[in-house]
Chain A
Amino acid sequence: MSTATTTTPLSKAPAGAPAPGTGPARALPGEGRIGLRANLRHIGALARRNALQIKQDPESMFDAVLMPIIFILLFVYVFGGAIAGKGNNDAYVNYVTPGLMAMMGMNIAMAVGSGVNEDFKKGVMDRFRTMPIARSSVLIAKIVVEVGRMLIATAILLGMGFLLGMEIKTSVLDLFAAIGLSMVFGASLMWIFILLGLTMKTTQAVQGVAMLVLMPLQFGSSIFAPPTSMPGWLETFTDYNPLSNLADAARNLVNGGPVAHSVWMTLGWSVLITAVTAPIAVAKFRKKT
Chain B
Amino acid sequence: MTRSHTNAVEVRGLVKHFGETKALDGVDLDVREGTVLGVLGPNGAGKTTLVRCLSTLIVPDAGTATVAGYDVVRQPRQLRRTIGLTGQYASVDEKLSGWENLYMIGRLLDLSRKDARARADELLERFSLTEAAKRPAMNYSGGMRRRLDLAASMIGNPAVLYLDEPTTGLDPRTRNEVWDEVKRMVSEGATVLLTTQYMEEAEQLASELTVVDRGKVIANGKVDDLKARVGGRTLKVRPVDPADLTAMAAALRETGLDGVAGATVVPDEGALYVPILADEQLTAVVGLLGARGFGIAHIGTHLPSLDEVFLAITGQKTTVSDALPEEVAA
Set of chain A residues within 8 Å of B108, measured between Cβ atoms: 42, 45-46, 128, 131, 133
Contact digits for A109-137, partner B, Cβ 8 Å, 1 yes 0 no: 00000000000001110111111110000
Q: How far is the CB of B306 from chain A (nearest CB, A)?
A: 8
B92 closest partner in A (C-beta): A124
- Once bound together, how far apart are the Cα atoms of A132 and B213, in whole Å? 32
Set of chain B residues within 8 Å of A45, measured between Cβ atoms: 104, 107-108
Candidate in A31, A32, A123, A127 with the most chain B CB atoms within 10 angstroms:
A127
State whether A4 and B109 are in contact (beta carbons under 8 Å apart), knowing that A11-B220, A46-B104 are contacts in the complex: no
Set of chain B residues within 8 Å of A131, measured between Cβ atoms: 80, 105, 108-109
Contact digits for A69-108, partner B, Cβ 8 Å, 1 yes 0 no: 0000000000000000000000000000000000000000
Interface stretch among B4-12, B169-177, B281-289? Answer: B4-12
A137 closest partner in B (C-beta): B108
State whether A123 and B107 are in contact (beta carbons under 8 Å apart), knowing that A14-B7, A34-B77 are contacts in the complex: no
Q: Is A170 an interface residue (CB 8 A)?
A: no
Q: Is B81 an interface residue (CB 8 A)?
A: yes
Interface residues of B in 83-123 (CB under 8 A from A): 83, 85, 88-96, 100, 104-105, 107-110
Candidate in A4, A5, A21 with the most chain B CB atoms within 10 angstroms:
A4
Interface stretch among B62-70, B178-186, B194-202, B248-256? Answer: B62-70
State whether A25 and B110 are in contact (beta carbons under 8 Å apart), knowing that A57-B95, A126-B90 are contacts in the complex: no
Q: Is A229 an interface residue (CB 8 A)?
A: no
Residue among A17, A23, A41, A130 making CB contact with B57, cutoff 8 Å = A130
Interface stretch among B268-276, B291-299, B310-318? Answer: B310-318
State whether A18 and B310 are in contact (beta carbons under 8 Å apart), knowing that A32-B77, A122-B94, A130-B80 are contacts in the complex: no
Interface stretch among B221-229, B239-247, B257-265? Answer: B221-229
State whether A1 and B55 are in contact (beta carbons under 8 Å apart), knowing that A20-B64, A45-B107 are contacts in the complex: no
Q: Is B238 an interface residue (CB 8 A)?
A: no
- Once bound together, how far apart are the Cα atoms of A27 and B57, in whole Å? 20
- Once bound together, how far apart are the Cα atoms of A41 and B83, in whole Å? 21
Contact digits for A2-40, partner B, Cβ 8 Å, 1 yes 0 no: 011111111101101110110111110001111000100
Q: Is A44 an interface residue (CB 8 A)?
A: yes
Set of chain A residues within 8 Å of B85, measured between Cβ atoms: 126-127, 130
Q: Is B322 an interface residue (CB 8 A)?
A: no
Q: How far is the CB of B280 from chain A (nearest CB, A)?
A: 24
Query: What is the size category of the interface that chain B forms with chain A?
Result: 35 or more
Interface stretch among A47-55, A147-155, A205-213? Answer: A47-55
Are B109 and A127 in contact, with the CB atoms below 8 A?
no
- Once bound together, how far apart are the Cα atoms of A150 and B10, in whole Å? 49
Q: How far is the CB of A259 from chain B (nearest CB, A)?
A: 41
Candidate in A6, A13, A57, A130 with the most chain B CB atoms within 10 angstroms:
A130
Interface residues of B in 38-59 (CB under 8 A from A): 42, 52, 55-58
Are B219 and A9 in contact, with the CB atoms below 8 A?
yes
State whether A23 and B10 are in contact (beta carbons under 8 Å apart), knowing that A8-B218, A10-B220, A132-B109 are contacts in the complex: yes
Set of chain A residues within 8 Å of B57, measured between Cβ atoms: 126, 129-130, 289
Set of chain A residues within 8 Å of B107, measured between Cβ atoms: 41-42, 44-45
State whether A4 and B77 are in contact (beta carbons under 8 Å apart), knowing that A11-B225, A21-B71 are contacts in the complex: no
Set of chain A residues within 8 Å of B316, measured between Cβ atoms: 8
- Once bound together, how far apart are the Cα atoms of A46 and B104, in whole Å? 7
- Once bound together, how far apart are the Cα atoms of A27 and B95, in whole Å? 37
Q: Is B307 an interface residue (CB 8 A)?
A: yes
Q: How far is the CB of B66 from chain A (nearest CB, A)?
A: 5
Q: Is B143 an interface residue (CB 8 A)?
A: no
Are A27 and B93 in contact, with the CB atoms below 8 A?
no
- Once bound together, how far apart are the Cα atoms of A27 and B76, in whole Å? 10
Set of chain A residues within 8 Å of B221, measured between Cβ atoms: 9-11
Residue among A6, A25, A32, A124 making CB contact with B314, cutoff 8 Å = A6
Are B307 and A1 in contact, with the CB atoms below 8 A?
yes
Are B30 and A8 in contact, with the CB atoms below 8 A?
no
A9 closest partner in B (C-beta): B220
Set of chain B residues within 8 Å of A38, measured between Cβ atoms: 110
Set of chain B residues within 8 Å of A133, measured between Cβ atoms: 108
- Once bound together, how far apart are the Cα atoms of A112 and B7, in whole Å? 43
State whether A26 and B78 are in contact (beta carbons under 8 Å apart), knowing that A10-B225, A20-B10, A42-B107 are contacts in the complex: yes
Residue among B5, B77, B219 making CB contact with A33, cutoff 8 Å = B77
Q: How far is the CB of A235 from chain B (nearest CB, A)?
A: 46
A sample of 26 inter-chain contacts (CB < 8 A) reads A1-B311, A7-B218, A8-B313, A8-B316, A11-B220, A11-B222, A18-B7, A18-B10, A20-B64, A21-B71, A24-B69, A27-B74, A32-B75, A32-B77, A32-B81, A34-B77, A45-B104, A49-B104, A52-B100, A56-B95, A56-B136, A124-B90, A126-B85, A129-B56, A132-B81, A289-B57
Q: A26-B69, A133-B108 are in contact. List 19 more A-B contacts (CB 8 A).
A: A1-B42, A1-B314, A7-B218, A9-B221, A10-B219, A23-B70, A27-B71, A32-B77, A34-B77, A38-B110, A49-B93, A49-B96, A49-B104, A53-B93, A53-B95, A53-B96, A124-B94, A127-B105, A129-B57
| B binding-site residues for A, Cβ under 8 Å | 5, 7, 10, 12, 28, 30, 32, 42, 52, 55-58, 64, 66, 68-71, 74-75, 77-78, 80-81, 83, 85, 88-96, 100, 104-105, 107-110, 136, 152, 213-214, 216-222, 225-226, 229, 307, 310-311, 313-316
